[in-house]
Amino acid sequence: MLIIDGSVGPTEIDLEMLANLEARKKNVVIVANKIDKVKKSQYEKTLKEIQGKVGDHIVIPYSAEKNIGVAELRERILE
């Protein structure tokens, strides 16, 4: 799991970490935390931008506060 701030998107450090994990052939799932901070009008655009920057990795929009993505993350962890 690589946790990023979903309201900011992947930073340079996040992308460096992702590259390191990919170089080690790790199966990476991106958790876009704090997704509840993204305006509803920008939600889809934000997720597309995140996906575009992280490639083919699964992106799970997540907010513990609003209970978004909790079940999906749990399923991925248990796989």
The pLDDT of residue 79? 84
Domain boundaries, the chain: 2-78
| Distances from the Cα of 33 to the Cα of 1, 19, 24, 73, angstroms | 11, 20, 24, 11
Cβ 31 vs Cβ 4: under 8 Å = yes
What is the CATH code of the structural domain delimited by 2-78?
3.40.50.300
| Helix, strand, coil tally for the chain in percent (to 5) | 50, 20, 30
| pLDDT tens per residue across span 16-29 | 999 999 999 999 99
pTM above threshold 0.85: yes
Average pLDDT over residues 62-67: 96
How is residue 63 annotated by DSSP?
B
Cβ-proximal residues to 62 (8 Å cutoff; 6+ apart), any chain = 6, 31, 32, 33, 34, 35, 68, 69, 70, 73
